[in-house]
Amino acid sequence: MGPFPLQDNQPVSSVASSAVEFTQIVFLISDGRFDSDGRVRIRKLVETALERQQLIVLLVVDQGAAEGMSSQQQTSILDTQSVTFDKGKVRMVPYLENYPFPYYVLLPASTTLPEILSDSLRQWFEML
C-alpha cells in the first residue's frame, strides 16, 4: 500500500496566509458522516482548535472503499451525495464538498490505521 497523504480541504491561500504554527496534533477516528447541524458545530470546534494551535486530523474509516466490498454492503464516503436547496431547487452535491475538517485521511479499513498514523505524523513534522 502506498503513502496516505493528508487531504487538504482548505484553499492553499487560506492555509498559507494564516501562518499558523501547530504545537499539537489531534487525531479523530470516525466514519466521517454527520448531519448538517453537526457540520456547523464541528466547524466552530475546528476553528477553536486552530486558535489554540492544534492541528485536527480526521481519520475516516471508509469501509465502503475497501476492496472486495459490494455496493450493497457499504457505500464509500467518496460516492455519497447530500441534498442541498439552492433558491428553491434541489441540488445533489458530493458529501465531502464544504467538509468542515481542513485535514482528513480516508482509511479503506481499520487495519491500515498504524500505517496512516505514522505517515500522518511524518507529514506533520515536515510542516513544522
For the four alpha carbons of 64, 66, 72 and 78, in that order, the dihedral sign comes to: positive
Task: State the pLDDT at residue 17.
Answer: 44
Q: Are strands 81-86 and 89-94 parallel, antiparallel or unpaired?
A: antiparallel
Instruction: Kindly report the pTM of this predicted structure.
Output: 0.72
What range defines the domain where residue 94 resides?
A: 7-127
Residue 59 in domain: yes
Query: Cβ-count burial of 38 within 10 angstroms (0-12 exposed, 13-18 middle, 19+ buried)?
Result: exposed
Q: Is residue 91 part of a domain?
A: yes
Domain count for the chain? 1
102 is written with which cell numbers?
481542513
Q: Does the residue 86 lie in any domain?
A: yes
Is residue 19 in some structural domain? yes
Inside any domain, residue 29: yes
Query: pLDDT for 61-109, tens place per residue?
Result: 988 766 655 555 568 999 999 888 889 999 999 999 989 999 898 988 8
> Pick from 68, 57, 65, 38: which is nearest to 102 by CA?
57
Percent of the chain with pLDDT over 90: 38
* Greater pLDDT, 5 or 126: 126
Is 107 inside any structural domain? yes
Residue 122 lies in a domain: yes
Q: What residue type is assigned to position 111 of the chain?
A: T
3-state secondary structure of 32: coil
Confidence of residue 12 (pLDDT cuts 50, 70, 90): very low
Residue 3 has pLDDT above 70, yes or no: no
Closest of 41, 38, 60 to residue 108, by C-alpha: 60
Answer whether residue 2 is part of any domain.
no
